[in-house]
Each structure stands twice: as C-alpha cells, then as structure tokens.
Structure 1
Amino acid sequence: MTSPSDGDPPQQPEYLSSIPVLEVHKTRSPARDESPETSTTSLPLRTSSPPPLGSRTSTLSSVLSRSSSPNGRLSLSFPRFGRSQVNSPLGNPSESYNDTRSLIVRAFSPTLAIYAAQEVDELAARKGVKNGFTGLVRPFGNKVSGKMVIRDSTGASRAWEDFAVHFADLGQLVQEGTSPPSDTNQLEKLEELMEQFIDEGFDDGDDLPGRGEISPFYRLFLTRVLCAQSMAPHESFRHPVGAVIAISSSTKQPIDTLRNLYQQTAQGSKALPAYANPEYLRYYVLVHDEDRDDFSKSSALFDQMKRHFGLHCHLLRLRSASCTPSDDDTEELPPCEWLSPSEQLAFLYDTADLIDLNTSPSPYIFSSDAAALRAFVRELVAQSIIYHMEQRIALWNEQIASRRRGISGRFMSLSKRWTGIAGPSRSSSSITSLGGSGASGNYDSLQGMYRYDAPESLLRKLADYAFMLRDYKLAASTYELLRTDYANDKAWKYLAGANEMCCIATLLNPLTSSGSSKFKIENFDLMLDVASYSYLTRCSDPALALRAILLGVELLKVRGRAASELAAKWAIRSLELGLVGSTGHVLVSERIASCFADRIGIGHTNWGMRRRKAALWNIMTADEWMKLGRAEIAGERLDEAQELYNETQKAQATKEYQEMAEYLEQLRLAVRMKLGEARKRGYSGATRQLELEGGIPGEGDVEDETVEEMTTLDKGDHRVDRRSLLGGAGAAGGLVNPLEPVTPLSPVRLNRPSPLSREDDDFE
C-alpha cells in the first residue's frame, strides 16, 4: 500500500480522466445537404470526378513513425434527427492516446476479398507490383480518402475521417479458413521481426517520444500483434464483407468470365468454409488498360456489366506501363500498414538488397493511377460496403437480437439454462457431449464451431459488423448476450472472444464515461480474466491472449485512477505468463511505467500516486534496453525515472539505499560508455542521440568525451527540464555489471535463454 508521503503536492495532472467532452448544439443542425462524394445513405450515384488527392511517399523507416491521423482534432457531438455530424473517437486531450485509439479502431476494419482474372494480375505485374492486383489495391485501404458517413442502429449518422478497410486475396482467405492450424508460431515471428528493427537501429531519432507517449517500436509491436490473426470461426473480422471480382479490358468473353468467377466464389474452389457466411457482397470491376485498349469498347462493356450485375460495378482506368522515379507525375506505391509478422519479415528479406543500396523497396506508379485507385476504394466503401453492412445490421438486429432482448427472449434463455430446453440440433455429437447442460445444440464440439446460419453465429457477426462500423453501444450489448450462450455451450474460444470484445467495445464507447454506473472496474477485470484464461489454457492460443491483454491495457490506462492501476496489473500479468520474448518484455515494461505514471492522486495531497513505481519500472526498462544494445533509449528511460523521482516529496530517497545508489551509478556509467563506444564505431542510433545532445565531435575527442553531470533538481519544481543522466560520480571507478540474468525463460524463446525475465520481487 502506498503511503501518503508518496503523493505529490497539488498540481494539474498531465492526463485527465477520459470523460468525453460533449458539444451540445443549441440550435438545430441545417438540413442535410451532402454531395454524392460524401453521402452514403443511398447506393447509386457515383462521382464523375474524384476530389484532388496529394501524393504519398514512404520509406521502410516509416513503418516505425507515428501516425498523423487527424481524428484527434475532431469534436464529439450528439447527432440529432439522423443528420450527419463529425465525430471524434473520444474527447481526450492526449494526442498519443488518440493515435493509439485510432490504430486499434482501424485494426478491426472490414475485410474485402479480391478475386481477379489472370489478365488483371498480369497488368499489375507489368507495373512492377508483386502479388498481382491485390498488391496494387491493398495499400490504398490503409485510410479511405475523405469522410465516411455511417448510420448507426438508432438512425443517427456520424462522419469519420480515419476509416479503413483490409484487402486480402480470396484464395489466401479460403486457404486460411480450411487448412488445419499452422505450426508457425506468430509470436516467434513477431519476436524475430522486432529484433530485426531493434538490432538494425531503425528508429525515428528526430522525433523521440516524450514522457507518456507511445514509442515507435511499441506502436509497431502492437500493430503486428493486431495483424497476426488469420481467418477463424470464433470471430468474423477476417471474414470477407465483400469481394471484388475484377476482369481486364483484354479478357476474352468478359461476361462469361465474370459469371464463372462468381460461381467459383459461391460453390467452387474459392467457396468459404461452413462457418463463414457465403452471402457477402460481390463488387464487379472492369480494369481498362489505357496504354493498349480502346476506351470506347471498354465503356460499352461496362454498360453491359451494369445491366447484368446491377449497380455494384466500377470502371477502373489504369496504365499498364511501368515507370521510374525520374518520370514525371509518378509517386511511390504506399506501404501496406497491416502486414502480419510473417509478411513483414518476408518483405524485409526480399528488399534487403534494395535497402542496402538506399533504393526504395516499393515500386512507383503514375499519379493518375494512384488517384484512380483512391477514387475506386472510396466509391467501393462509401456506396456499397457501408450500405451493405448497415442493411445486414438492421436485419439481424430486428430478426434475432431484438427478440433476445425482449421479455419472451429472456424467458426462453432462462428455460434453456435451467431446464435444458434446446433448439434443433445440427450435430448428434454436440447433443451427446452437451445434453442436459442448457446448451443450444447448435455448437459442433468436434469441429469447434457454429454453422454460419446458427443464431449464435449470426449474433456474433452482428456484433462484429457493429464494431467495425463503430456502433460500440450495439456491439457491447450483443457481445453481452453471447457471453451466456457460449458459456452454456462450452464454446471456449467463442466465449473468450465475446468477453474480449465486450470489454474493448465498452471501453471504446465515448459515451461510457469513467463515472457512469456501467463503468465498473471489476467487470473489466473479470472479462479480461476469462478471455486470457480461455485463450491460453483452454485453447492454447497465446497470441490471442496477448492481443486481449494489450488492448485492455491501452484502453484502461487513460480511464482514471483505478483503471490505470488495473492496466498496469494486466500488463505485468502478460510478462508473468511469458507471452512475450526479450524485445516484447522491454516494450511492455515501458507501458507498465506509463500506466503507473498516469495514476491520478486523490485529494489536495494527491494521495495514491504511483510515481516511484513508475520510476522503478523505467530503471528496469533502461537495464533491459542496455542488454539489447540500445543505450540511447536506456538514457531516455533514466531521464524519465529521475523526473518522476523529483516529482515526489522525497526526491533524494534513492541515495539513502546504498545498493540502489550504486546500481544506478553503474547503470549510468554503462550507458555513457556504450554511447561513447557506439559513437566511435559509428552506430546510427547512438550517433543520432549524440547529435541531439550537442553534436558529434571529431575522432580525437572520443576519449575526452564530456557528458553533462546529473544535477540535483529542486523538489519544489514540478516542471523539470530533461537532463542527461549519462554521467555520475561513479565514473571514476571500475565498471561492475550487477545486471546478470536471473529469471526463467520465456516460452516464446525456448531456443535461447532470455536475459530479461526476472524472479518474483514482490513488486505488484
């Protein structure tokens, strides 16, 4: 228990409770008058001229840079009478949190499959793009241009500026869904990927994260954790919402080819597994080759397509010729943000020679092609995908969910629970194994799944669709319904997923403030406990357990006093469970320190703050960064630890403990020596840090390096400047390494010992 002496004098906290700031308009909004480009209330009209779009360029190092999503600048307002108003994810003053929140929200975006004819893939290959038409379109789903207007279940419309979609090859999705689980451990791939970036020194040295901000390494780590999952029965985020069926203007018998491609998606080799709904949207695309084919013929063919297949069609005009960076009106193909660890590693290995030559690993395309692709993605999403999802949500909510929420639905739920009354069974094995337990009979325990048309499966798809369209209130209430059903059926992976997403949807809801009656810390703790236990123990899926914990940590840490404490608890739990390896351990430890630093005190004495715990975790993190060879980051963590100690009433308390004082002295000396050696050898990360601290001296000055002495700061000054801790009184003595590994090995890194685990130190 923290004593009152650990608190701080009264001061304005850096992070306030994440209660959304609401702007209630006193006057009625003007009548809805939207252009066809921004309106999604009707399917049909398509824009003849897309809005001007700037070019985008990127390099490999941009993977680690922080997002510049503008959603943090928007304000939250109550929509009235179904009129569209711009809405932010959450009215929180922290730009870093808004960036993290946008990352989480965009990670659970609709998945769109692509099934292209051979001629279309050949056109993309001539442009120098790998993976065919999918590789050409996929990067443009990172962020759909313009505002997407989405209507929720109550009829209110909201506009979002950071909407995204995930494009995937239909054949790859079908293979993921039908093949047995792979032996490839995604956490091992993730650890290998993070080692690649950390060892090679990739870092955004010109924009070092400040106190409490998310680091570029952790952002990459969290992004890859969210991308590590493949198509699975228990959740429908990777199930295709729609499929893009594409042919080229050079395709022989184009109408028959489109019909054949459709039949393959419905009943042929590209049909989805039994647990995935086959009634997804088909969107037909005619790719016109500007360099080889006649546009008048393509235009006539496109009119014929619309007569046969309806309004879900698009004419995409592209050039098949390749281009170079020196050509006029060209731009680099944007990198895909949502790559799995395996895909990212394969990309790094394939482009290693190009990176060594300082050559861009991404091909260049014409600016006209980029503008056409952006307009295509926007029209596809705004006029077809969102409308299709809204219609399905309304249908399932009216036919299934509303009946379950009514009086009769509750009586039926009770009767099934206490008397074992079940619906029609689809599997005799499920009756045998679950008979008399209150199970519905729709769960196939041998295959571990529900059929796509089972009520439990449709309710899960309803909740996932609402989550992807950011109707978090409907999503959370539907997940809550499913928790009981899955528990009765003993569908453990479904139960874990429902608890995980119910927790996340409730935390993402901007109208669920920390002071409301629905916001109970005990409920979030229970849901995370059920999700992590079921994923890890019952389903042997540590990647999903890590995802659930990290999502809960990031969304809880900004929710106030007890919530930030709970976030730190679960971050520590992920380390204790061995879900991360060496690099993951140090990155999660940074977030633990941030959780404790965000703890807000009580009363005028700010009793209950966790500044000393945050400082201690920063020191341990600095030790781990030293073992990974990143002394410049270790120096940053030591700086932050000293700031936190100086904000307490006993800033010099560490000097009263001789062993701790010696430990800090030796750690600072180790950082100083490592930076000097790295600068002498020309390591990029340390050199960049030294440039920020005052320039790089010549070779003759390496041995006579001058480092700023640590200055004892006035404990009354709570806006301390960041000072270097690279020097110390112990510099004259010999370097003693007290940081020998003493901890058990992480299950993720069984092939070699991990020096970063630690024994129980009674710290919690």
Structure 2
Amino acid sequence: MEKRSPSSSSPKHNPLNQLRNFIPISPEIAAPARAATSGDGSISQSVASLPFARPNPSAASLFASTLTPPGSRSMSPIGRGSPSRVIASSIFRNPIDSPSSTQPPPDSPAHILTGAFIPHIAVYASNDTDRLAADKGFPSGLWELLRPFGERIHGKVTIRDSNGISRSLDDFAVRFFRLGHHIEPPDPTPGVPTKPSSTLNGNVGQSAPGSSPARKAPWSKTVVHDAEAVIERHLTYAEQAAAGLGHLNSLVPQGPEQGTTSPYYSLYLRRLLSGIAASPHETFSHPVACIIVISSRNPDPIVTLRSLYAESSKGEAQLPPWIEQEYLRYYVLVHDEERDNIARSMSLYDQMKRHFGLHCHLLRLRGSQGAETDDDSIPLPRSDWMTASEELALLKRTDGGEDFEDPVRYIFESDATAIRTFTREMVTQSIIPTMERSVSVWNDQVASRRRGLGGRILNLSRRWGGFGGGASRSSMIGSSSSTSNYDQAGGFYKPEAAEATMRRLADYAFMLRDWKLAYSTYDLLRSDYSTDKAWKFHAAANEMAAISILMNPQSITSKTRTETVDQLLEAAFYSYQTRCMATYGAIRTVLLGMELLRLRGGSSIDDAVRWGVRLLEGKLMGPTGEVLLKERLSVCYGGKQGLTSQFIAGRRRKSALWSILAAESWLDQEKFLQAQRCLNDARKTYSLLPNESGISKFVAASDFLAGLQQRTKEGLARPKGDSFYERNDGVETDGSRDCVDDQEEDDGGSETESEEVEALQGQELELPHRSRRISLMGHSGAPAASLETAPLRGRKGGTQSDANNGTREPPASSIGNNFG
C-alpha cells in the first residue's frame, strides 16, 4: 500500500481538487468514475494505473505560476481566481509584499522588462554568517534569504534624473547575488591570439557552470536551452495534473480571456531575462555595491571585515579585470536575537560606523528556523527571478516522487520586518544616491565632452592620431600605433576607458529610468564600438538604444520608428546573430523590441509581428519557444484596433490564423491542453467576425481545423502515460522524466481495460503512417486534391525530423487566404 504524507493526501493540498473547483464539468462527467460506462471507466482506471499519471502534490507550489484550468489565460500568481492563487496565495502574497492597485500585472511583459534591468548587489559573507543562514534553513547563504525582499522594495522610492527632476517609483527593485557568480567570459576577436592576462581568474571561472578560464562558456545556448526545459516541465505538469480529471475533451471552457499574456510565455521571458550574466559588453549585472556581512558570532569582527574587503578587492574573490572594482561597500552586522547579547552588538555596530563610515546596518534576526506550525511565522515567497538553471535543478528534484519535500520555507515575522527595513534603508540612503552621483560625474566629465561637433572632432583626432594620416583603420588593428581602448586579444575595454565608463553611465541611467540620457549615451557609443570592431558591444548598444526609445512614454512618429528604431533593432540583430553568433542576444533583442512595439498599438503592431516572424524564420529558438512566439503573434494581431470598429482594418483573421498554427505545433509536441486552448481562441475569433459563418465556406480550411480538433480530442482521451514517454524504444521525449519504473498490472483490472489501452496505443503507433493531409499552402477554394502534399509529421519527434530535413512551418506571408 502506497504511503502518503498528510499534506499530500489531504483534499486541501491536492491541486487536482483545486482544478475541479474551477473547471466547468458537465453533469455526466462530474459523476463518479464507477458510474460511467464500461468503456469510459476502463480508460479512467488505466490512467490512474500508469506511472506518473498524477503529479506530486508537494510540488504544486513550484508550478503555481502556470497551473490553471484549461481554457483560461490568466495564470498570474496573484491573478483572478486561478487555482495558483488558491494553492499558493500564502506563498506568493504575504506581509512581505504590499502591492499597489496602480501596479501593472506581474506577468505583463513591460513589468518583466523593468524588473530585469535593475541594480545588482553582491553579497559576500563570512563563514559564521553562512552557518547562521544555514541554521535558518538557507544552506546557500544569506543572499538566498535576502533575494525575495530585493525584488520588491517596500514603499515608494524617489529618484532624480539628470535634469534634477524627482519622481517616485513604487515598483523599484534590486537583485541580490553571490559575489563572483554568473560571470560570462569575454569574446576575443577571431584570429587574434589570446593573452593569458585577459582570461578570468580561476575562482571566477568556477562560478560559470560548464566553463573554464581557457575557453568561452556557451552561456547564450545554456540560458535558452534551460529556459525551454523549464517551460517543458511546466507544460508536462499541467498535462499530468489534468490527467486525473478524466474526459477533458468534453469540457466546455466558459469565456476564455483572449488578448492576455500566456503564463508560459511570461515565465519563458522572465527566465530568459534572469539569465543576464556579468559580461564585458553590458554592465547591468555588474555589482553597483557589495554587502560585506559578519554575524555577532564572529570572535574578531573588525579584522574579519577588513579581511573580507581585501579579498573582494585584490584577493581570491576579486572580480575579472573588465569589471570596475571601485563599487560601494556596505557593511552589515547580523545579530542573533536568540543567542547573543544585544548590548555587545550595539557597541560593535558603533565601532563599525567609526571605522567604515555611515554605510553600515545592524540586522537583527532570530537564529532558529521558522516552521509552518509557529504562530509568528510566514511563508517566504520563492524568488520570481531565479535563473533557468536554478529552477530546472529544483524541478528535477520532484522526480523523486513522494520523497520530495515541499520547497516552501518559513521565516518569523520579526525577521521579515527587519529585512524589509534593511533593504529599503540601504536602497534609498546608499544605493540610489551613489548611482545618481556617479551618473552626474560621468555625464559631466566624460559624456559631455563627446557631445556636439567639437567632441566628435576631438574623438576622431584621438583615435586616428591626427588628420591626414595615410594608414587605414584596418591596417591599424592589432598594431601598437592604434590608440583604441579596445583590447582585441581579451575582448573587452578596461574599466577606466572612456567607452567602458560611458557604458556604465548609460546602464545606470537606464536602471534609474532616465530614458533620454540612456538613449543619447548609447547612441554615442554605437559609432565608437563600430570603429573598434567590437561587434558584441556594438550589438548591445544598438539593442539598448532601441529599447530606451520605446520605453520613453512620449509618442514617436512612424518616421522615427522606421528610420531609427527599426535600424537599431536590425543592427543589433545582425551583429548578435551573424557577427557574434550570440543566440541569446538575438532572441532577447527581438522579443523585447516586439513587446514594446506591441504596447504602442496602431501600426506598431504590424512591425512587432514582422520582427516576431523574423525570429521564427531565423530558427534560433527551440520548439517550445517557437510555439509560444506563435501564440504571442496571435495576441499581437488580436490587439490591433480597426478604423471604425474592431473588424475594419483590424487583424482578427490573422490572429486566428496564428492560433491555429500554434495549435498544430502544440499537437506535434503532444501538448493537447494547450492545443485545445489555441483552437478555442481561434473559434471564438471566427465567431466574432461580421460573417457569422467564419471559415465554414472554405472547405480546405474547415477540414484542416476539424482535423486538428479531432487530433486534440483523441489526445485528451488517451492514457496520459503514453503522451510523455516513448515506451517502444526507451527514448525520452523533451520534458520527460529521467526514468519510468515498470508497474505491475492491477489484479482487479479487466480484460476490457487492457484491450482498450492496447487499442489506443495501436492507434498512436499508426499515426506516423497516416495519409497526406490538406495543407494551408493551397489557394483559396481549390479542391483538396490540388493542394500541396507534404507528409504529416508524426506526433512524436516531429520537431526533430523538421530539424533534420531542413523543413519548417511557413511564415504568415506565405499562407493562403483560407484562414485570412
């Protein structure tokens, strides 16, 4: 008899019971399985007997951001009445957060974008502090406890721009990370020998998984791959959670919310942006400050603080040479309320202020670990900005089945109040003033000299060694006569170089949301990077210049969008993809540009879709990312307003078309719930057209849509175990679990049940040998026999076969008029 923990077996904690409360089930389906017909009952029993047919209830909190009933688009952790809110409301919303009604939805791409490019604060703690954090249930260190509090600074934060104008922000955030982690090595220039001094230190190289000091880590490929793997597991969990509900093909979703952001797309975008590493070509992940932490358990605190400072500056924790070392140091003393004397800690704190200045803080925490049963404990929210590799490792732990422990951790309310006060005080009194002062100094001393005609002439004279020189720029590359600050052997600018200083100025202005100053600085840097042939720097400057224009709330003309924004995005995409082969940068550029163009509405939506199709044609994303992008293109077209109504000069048919293309791709990956949702959106869109018949007059299109619906119905009805694993050859599909244990047959099972399961498996094996299907490529009104005869891809491995054969789905411009 299988043992279950009380929390897992109770109806209160079972996510399947929560799903049943939100899915409209017809009366005949809501009846118990024993009361069903013999055929239906055997299928339901077979689903329960298959391995991993039901998900681990203890892992529900890990999937709370995407767990929602079929047919619903709202999947935010604080969304509208979704099961994720019911299951994990205490996890994601507690006294730590006090959201304002004026805030955009957390799953909004604009909110995600502003939350990605924020100040990064390193944490460097002593050994005694790490032991105290481990006693509180955080074995990774104190930064793990601080991280959720930095993602939302309590209260309003006032920031001044370069013109001295103050404005208040209620969504300002910072990111805590371990000093020396998530560092990406630079890209040396091809053909130029790499100098040993330009490589990373050994301790820094260890912080980048899979990298070594001698070679560049494939960071971009790792981030994209891990992000898709995370989404694949979320999708698989949704399919498994719904498997216990029975006949999902008979569900009738009521009122699906169209035009909202898919939770899987939001999570995909968030995991991509959380993978921004500390690299030479952009300084967003470079530390603006470092918290040096000791605890009251330390026997020699002042000496330890000096030692930690020396290690972070010139010791084993020193950052690579292309990161500015003169960042703010903030000293923190953690007092253990349960073991140490507060009078001694206060005396030590006063001594710290005398030695190290005013950038100090006394953080009072309880040394024991909070528990769910404690009256004064609250759940600590899981970080929304953990990296894709970190979340993937956490999700893989759920493969252990019932041995998996609930990842929710609890802290005392007094600790939450103390940390919230500490983060606000540090940000408002130290971090922001330091950044504002740096922006003012760099702008006056460096950037102002470069603006205007005189500054450009001086820059040319400095770079070319005077006018009239006969040597060409190409002959000067790599020679000692060149005055460029770009280290081509190492692939970076030194921190004291004017180009590096201006890049920090632009990034600081962007993080402080001074969009005009950020754009003007990025625009100055573009020509410098192009002259030095620092192509990754050039791509990043073009990318952020375009984003700065689009982030500015002021309206832009179509001429500006065409002649400036499109050119900047084109230059960034080309440099990332062709010159640097940086897949991550190319994907990030297009997705951010597409989202910001979509928010401007009007004709900008057509430009947004054009960039999305450009990314699809580049085949830079994996199969899951491409389907999510197709869904997003449907949302883009669905949000375009017509001239006099939503139909005249609108894009409703094109929105439905991309939903159908997304449904077909979901079916190829055997994600039947997502395919059903896309088909529901397409049908609803067609039903809203002035012509009530929709596409019923187009025979080929109607037959194709009916075929997709039939495939979806069959996929939802068959046993879910066959949907996730290849049982014949033992090859796992994407997102499958690492192993599947064989289970013995149920003694109470009937022969009818076995025959039906075998019949369903037989139908699945015959699918790759079906006859050729009607294609979307045919002309409107053409008979079925005259349409193109590309063979139907199999349900398993369809994406892989496409990659091997070099085929891909046609872009929107090549599809016939059957769907719009």
TM-score range, shorter-chain basis?
A: 0.7 to 0.9
The one-letter amino acid of 1:763's match is: S
Q: CA deviation at 1:741?
A: 5.2
**Does the aligned pair in 1 maintain the 2:228–2:622 contact within 8 Å?**
yes
2:123 equivalent among 110, 114, 122: 114
Residues 624-643 of structure 1 correspond to what in structure 2 (within 5 A)?
Answer: 624-643=665-684
Q: CA deviation at 1:520?
A: 2.2
- The aligned counterpart of 2:237 is 200
Which TM-score applies when normalising by structure 2? 0.70
**Does the aligned pair in 2 maintain the 1:58–1:332 contact within 8 Å?**
no
**Does the aligned pair in 1 maintain the 2:107–2:266 contact within 8 Å?**
no
Q: Deviations over 1:137-178 (max 9, x none)?
A: 122111111111111111111111111111111132544589
Give the unaligned 5+ runs of structure 1: 1-56, 71-90, 423-428, 684-702, 704-733
- The aligned counterpart of 1:181 is 216
Shift in CA distance, 750/63, structure 1 to aligned 2, threshold 3 Å? farther
Q: Deviations over 1:657-715 (max 9, x none)?
A: 322111111222222333344699999xxxxxxxxxxxxxxxxxxx9xxxxxxxxxxxx
**Does the aligned pair in 1 maintain the 2:526–2:542 contact within 8 Å?**
yes
Number of equivalent positions? 629
Residues 236-247 of structure 1 correspond to what in structure 2 (within 5 A)?
Answer: 236-247=283-294
**Does the aligned pair in 2 maintain the 1:622–1:638 contact within 8 Å?**
yes
**Does the aligned pair in 2 maintain the 1:635–1:671 contact within 8 Å?**
yes
- The aligned counterpart of 1:278 is 325
Residues 585-734 of structure 1 correspond to what in structure 2 (within 5 A)?
Answer: 585-602=626-643, 607-652=648-693, 654-677=695-718
Q: Deviations over 1:618-654 (max 9, x none)?
A: 1111122223333333222222222333444445362
- The aligned counterpart of 2:809 is 758
Q: Deviations over 1:38-76 (max 9, x none)?
A: xxxxxxxxxxxxxxxxxxx99212343426599xxxxxx
**Does the aligned pair in 2 maintain the 1:430–1:444 contact within 8 Å?**
no
Measure the CA separation in 1 of the matches of 2:603 and 2:306. Answer: 58
- The aligned counterpart of 2:447 is 401
Q: What SS does the corresponding residue of 1:171 show, helix, strand or coil?
A: coil
Measure the CA separation in 2 of the matches of 1:406 and 1:751. Answer: 53
Residues 498-513 of structure 1 correspond to what in structure 2 (within 5 A)?
Answer: 498-510=541-553, 512-513=554-555
- The aligned counterpart of 1:327 is 374
- The aligned counterpart of 2:515 is 472
Measure the CA separation in 2 of the matches of 1:605 and 1:347. Answer: 45
Q: Deviations over 1:259-302 (max 9, x none)?
A: 11111111111112121111100000001111111111011000
Residues 565-580 of structure 1 correspond to what in structure 2 (within 5 A)?
Answer: 565-580=606-621
Q: CA deviation at 1:387?
A: 0.8
Residues 235-274 of structure 1 correspond to what in structure 2 (within 5 A)?
Answer: 235-274=282-321
Shift in CA distance, 329/108, structure 1 to aligned 2, threshold 3 Å? same
Measure the CA separation in 2 of the matches of 1:408 and 1:203. Answer: 66
Measure the CA separation in 1 of the matches of 2:460 and 2:797. Answer: 44
Q: What SS does the corresponding residue of 1:250 show, helix, strand or coil?
A: coil
- Structure 1 residues 280-289 or 377-386, which shifts more? 377-386
Q: What SS does the corresponding residue of 2:508 show, helix, strand or coil?
A: helix
Shift in CA distance, 548/746, structure 1 to aligned 2, threshold 3 Å? farther
Measure the CA separation in 1 of the matches of 2:635 and 2:131. Answer: 49
Q: Deviations over 1:399-445 (max 9, x none)?
A: 1112212342133246568x6649xxxxxx998416799x8511111
Is residue 169 from structure 1 mapped to residue 178 from structure 2 by the alignment? yes
Is residue 444 from structure 1 mapped to residue 487 from structure 2 by the alignment? yes
Measure the CA separation in 1 of the matches of 2:305 and 2:503. Answer: 31
Measure the CA separation in 2 of the matches of 1:269 and 1:619. Answer: 55
Measure the CA separation in 1 of the matches of 2:548 and 2:254. Answer: 32
Is residue 552 from structure 1 mapped to residue 561 from structure 2 by the alignment? no
- The aligned counterpart of 1:686 is none
Measure the CA separation in 2 of the matches of 1:621 and 1:181. Answer: 35
**Does the aligned pair in 1 maintain the 2:239–2:673 contact within 8 Å?**
no
Q: CA deviation at 1:393?
A: 0.4
Q: CA RMSD in A?
A: 3.8
- Structure 1 residues 194-203 or 322-331, which shifts more? 194-203
**Does the aligned pair in 2 maintain the 1:430–1:445 contact within 8 Å?**
no
**Does the aligned pair in 1 maintain the 2:613–2:811 contact within 8 Å?**
no
Which TM-score applies when normalising by structure 1? 0.75
Measure the CA separation in 1 of the matches of 2:173 and 2:239. Answer: 26
Measure the CA separation in 2 of the matches of 1:157 and 1:204. Answer: 49
Percent identical pairs in the alignment equals 39
- The aligned counterpart of 2:109 is 100
Shift in CA distance, 69/678, structure 1 to aligned 2, threshold 3 Å? closer
Shift in CA distance, 752/319, structure 1 to aligned 2, threshold 3 Å? farther
Shift in CA distance, 635/526, structure 1 to aligned 2, threshold 3 Å? same
- The aligned counterpart of 2:146 is 137
Measure the CA separation in 1 of the matches of 2:286 and 2:125. Answer: 18
Measure the CA separation in 2 of the matches of 1:374 and 1:58. Answer: 27
- The aligned counterpart of 1:211 is 258
Give the unaligned 5+ runs of structure 2: 1-58, 67-74, 81-100, 184-203, 243-252, 468-472, 725-752, 754-769, 776-790, 816-820
**Does the aligned pair in 2 maintain the 1:590–1:621 contact within 8 Å?**
yes
Measure the CA separation in 2 of the matches of 1:482 and 1:119. Answer: 45
Measure the CA separation in 2 of the matches of 1:746 and 1:236. Answer: 40
Q: CA deviation at 1:396?
A: 0.4
**Does the aligned pair in 2 maintain the 1:404–1:410 contact within 8 Å?**
yes
Q: CA deviation at 1:203?
A: 10
- The aligned counterpart of 2:339 is 292
The one-letter amino acid of 1:600's match is: Q
Q: What SS does the corresponding residue of 1:592 show, helix, strand or coil?
A: helix
The one-letter amino acid of 1:654's match is: I
The one-letter amino acid of 1:661's match is: S
- The aligned counterpart of 1:125 is 134
Shift in CA distance, 582/127, structure 1 to aligned 2, threshold 3 Å? same
Q: Deviations over 1:701-758 (max 9, x none)?
A: xx9xxxxxxxxxxxxxxxxxxxxxxxxxxxxxx9997696569x99997998699942
**Does the aligned pair in 2 maintain the 1:69–1:162 contact within 8 Å?**
no
- The aligned counterpart of 2:477 is 433
- The aligned counterpart of 2:63 is 61
- Structure 1 residues 336-345 or 439-448, which shifts more? 439-448
- The aligned counterpart of 2:435 is 389
**Does the aligned pair in 2 maintain the 1:619–1:641 contact within 8 Å?**
yes
Q: CA deviation at 1:447?
A: 1.3
**Does the aligned pair in 1 maintain the 2:323–2:495 contact within 8 Å?**
yes
Q: Deviations over 1:579-601 (max 9, x none)?
A: 21111111000111112222333
